[in-house]
């Protein structure tokens, strides 16, 4: 039995809804597909499809296998692509989208390294806080912080971002250091207009979430400005470490309430998103590989600024 071909047949049956339709799509016979699926079931010792009705329904085992099979076939395809494209030098213009602050802070410093590595590559970095459509914006790749990456795109989790509560030493000296989340209510805490709606949600080490209503007389929709205000000693804020890591390292800022992990609506995940065909482009693959290498084992902004 051609093992992987059987997996592909099985996956196709699930997608097409019947063996006959899958056979048509695969340009082979119903008998072949039926036999391949039957042999998979025999090999695994489980039923993949219910047989009590003509309407094909996956069994629980079938569902599990379907998901794993997709992943495995994707890995196989990726391997084939990688080896076939190894001699293709990334060239041309790569259009990368990112949010304004993250783009300026993290992607922009990275891109020169990429371009140094691939002399025939050019890059257009499109910074925007709007979730523009990848096709409409003609983006080859978008870096998104979100809980729900675009459904028409391939999304690859690159990194889990960290956020910390921080203030300047001067502010803390003048106003005292909050010891508990509730203490924050007595402090000037900057609100993110776009995300927290005046309530900070902090998760403690046990996974419990504490909500702290905060008030601030100064509110920003640009976290770069929030950073500036915090550094100026005007208050406390939740900031991503990619933004404030340097200031922390230099001692310009200090973190507080470290046991608590700030939660934000759009979550902690940084995704690389690209339209299905774009994954083949050497430039996209080079960007992803180099960017991930750059982020490993931890991002540059986390590599410094460590301490007790």
Q: Which of 297, 278, 272, 307 is nearest to 138 (CA)?
A: 278
Cα distance between residue 213 and residue 33, in whole Å = 60
Does the footprint of DNA cover residue 54 (CB under 7 A)?
A: yes
CB contact at 8 A, 165 and 237: yes
Least separation in angstroms between residue 216's CB and a copy of itself is 22
76 binds, among a copy of itself, DNA, none (CB under 5 to 8 A by kind): a copy of itself
- Binding to DNA by residue 55, rule CB under 7 A? yes
Determine if 61 is a binding residue for DNA (CB under 7 A): no
Rule CB under 7 A: which of 8-27 touch DNA?
18-21, 27
Task: Return the residues of window 261-280 that contact DNA according to CB under 7 A.
Answer: none
Distance CA(119)–CA(30), nearest Å, equals: 51
Q: Which of 4, 5, 43, 135 binds DNA (CB under 7 A)?
A: 5
Tokens at residue 58, please? 């996956």
Taking CB within 5 to 8 Å according to partner kind, which of DNA, a copy of itself, none is near residue 58? none
**Shortest Cβ 157–a copy of itself spacing (Å):** 10
Nearer to a copy of itself, 81 or 125 (CB): 81
Q: Residue 72: which of DNA, a copy of itself, none does it interact with, CB under 5 to 8 A by kind?
A: a copy of itself
Q: How far is the CB of 83 from a copy of itself (least distance, A)?
A: 4
- CA Rg, the chain, in Å? 25
Both tokens of 134, joined, read: 């990848």
Q: Return the structure tokens found at 48.
A: 């993949």
Contacts to DNA from residues 162-181, by CB under 7 A: none
37 binds, among DNA, a copy of itself, none (CB under 5 to 8 A by kind): DNA
Binding-site residue total for DNA (CB under 7 A)?
Answer: 24
Which CB atom, from 75 or from 182, has the smaller least distance to a copy of itself?
75
Sheet holding 154-160, edge to edge: 121-127, 92-98, 141-145, 269-274, 154-160
**Is the CB of 141 or the CB of 247 nearer to a copy of itself?**
247
Residues of the shown chain interacting with a copy of itself in the complex, contacts defined by CB under 8 A: 2-5, 7, 44-46, 60-61, 64-65, 68-69, 71-72, 74-76, 78-80, 82-84, 86-87, 160, 164, 166, 205, 247-249, 251, 253-255, 258-259, 261, 268, 297-298, 300, 303-308
In whole angstroms, give the CA distance from residue 177 to residue 305. Answer: 20
Q: How far is the CB of 83 from DNA (least distance, A)?
A: 17
Query: Rule CB under 7 A: is residue 92 a binding residue for DNA?
Result: no
Identity of the residue, 43 or 93, whose beta carbon is nearer to a copy of itself in the bound complex = 43
CB count in 10 Å sphere of residue 22? 26
Footprint of DNA on this chain (CB under 7 A)?
Answer: 1-2, 5, 18-21, 27-32, 34-38, 49, 51, 53-56
């Amino acid at each position: 039995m051609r093992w992987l071909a059987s997996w592909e047949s099985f996956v196709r049956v699930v997608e097409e809804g019947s063996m006959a339709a899958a056979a048509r799509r695969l340009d082979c016979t119903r008998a072949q597909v039926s036999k391949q699926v039957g042999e998979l079931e025999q090999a695994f010792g489980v039923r993949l499809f219910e047989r009590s009705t003509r309407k094909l329904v996956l069994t629980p085992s079938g569902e599990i296998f379907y998901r794993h099979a997709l992943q495995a076939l994707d890995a196989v395809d990726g391997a084939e692509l990688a080896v076939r494209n190894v001699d293709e030098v990334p060239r041309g213009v790569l259009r990368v989208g990112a949010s304004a602050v993250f783009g300026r802070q993290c992607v922009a410093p990275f891109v020169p390294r990429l371009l140094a590595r691939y002399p025939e590559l050019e890059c257009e970095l499109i910074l925007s806080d709007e979730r523009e459509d990848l096709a409409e914006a003609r983006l080859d790749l978008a870096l998104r912080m979100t809980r729900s990456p675009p459904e028409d795109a391939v999304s690859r989790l690159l990194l889990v971002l960290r956020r910390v509560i921080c203030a300047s030493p001067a502010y803390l000296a003048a106003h005292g250091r909050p010891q508990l989340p509730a203490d924050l209510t007595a402090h000037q805490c900057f609100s993110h207009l776009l995300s927290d709606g005046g309530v900070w949600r902090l998760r403690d080490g046990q996974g419990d979430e504490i909500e702290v209503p905060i008030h601030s007389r100064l509110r920003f929709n640009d976290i770069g400005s929030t950073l500036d205000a915090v550094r100026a000693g005007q208050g406390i804020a939740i900031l991503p470490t990619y933004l404030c890591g340097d200031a922390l390292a230099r001692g310009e800022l200090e973190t507080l309430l470290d046991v608590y992990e700030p939660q934000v609506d759009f979550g902690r995940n940084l995704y690389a998103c690209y339209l299905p065909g774009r994954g083949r482009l050497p430039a996209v693959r080079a960007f992803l590989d180099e960017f991930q290498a750059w982020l490993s084992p931890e991002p540059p902004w986390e590599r410094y600024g460590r301490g007790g």
